[in-house]
Amino acid sequence: MQMIVEAAQEEDALDLVVLDVNEKTIIADYFVICSGRNLNHIHTIAEHVEQKLKAQGYWPLRREGYEEGKWVILDYASTILHIFRQQERDYYQLENLWADARKVSVERTD
């Protein structure tokens, strides 16, 4: 989870939130949720995360939404990264959907 957070922060992901969903679902331990300013920014964040993790030997199990770019999902088994365009983030409100999950404190790694 930490490598994903750091890689997203390196590309200035907006409003990054980490939810500990371990006790709420079997699909993952953590959701990392962030936004990009536009399609190019969303792609840049996704590509950077993939490159950084591949360099450490981790490949996503699933990658969805990249072509459309409104909501990109990178599934790394225990951690799922959601990169939203702000309109989609406002619409789907994952943070509200998982409001009973514990928020994990993250700090900028600048």
Annotated domain spans of the chain: 2-100
For residue 110, the model assigns a pLDDT of 58
pLDDT in tens, 71-81: 999 999 999 99
Fold of 2-100: Beta Polymerase; domain 2 (3.30.460)
The residue that leads in pLDDT, 107 or 38, is 38
d(CA 65, CA 83): 9
Is the pLDDT score of 24 beyond 90? yes
What would the mean pLDDT of 40-48 be, rounded to a whole number?
98
Is the pLDDT score of 43 beyond 90? yes
Mean pLDDT for the chain overall: 96
d(CA 76, CA 57): 11
Which residues of the chain form beta strands (DSSP E)?
14-20, 30-36, 62-64, 71-76, 79-85, 102-104
Q: Which residue, among 86, 82, 90, 89, has the nearest Cα to 66 in the 3D structure?
A: 82
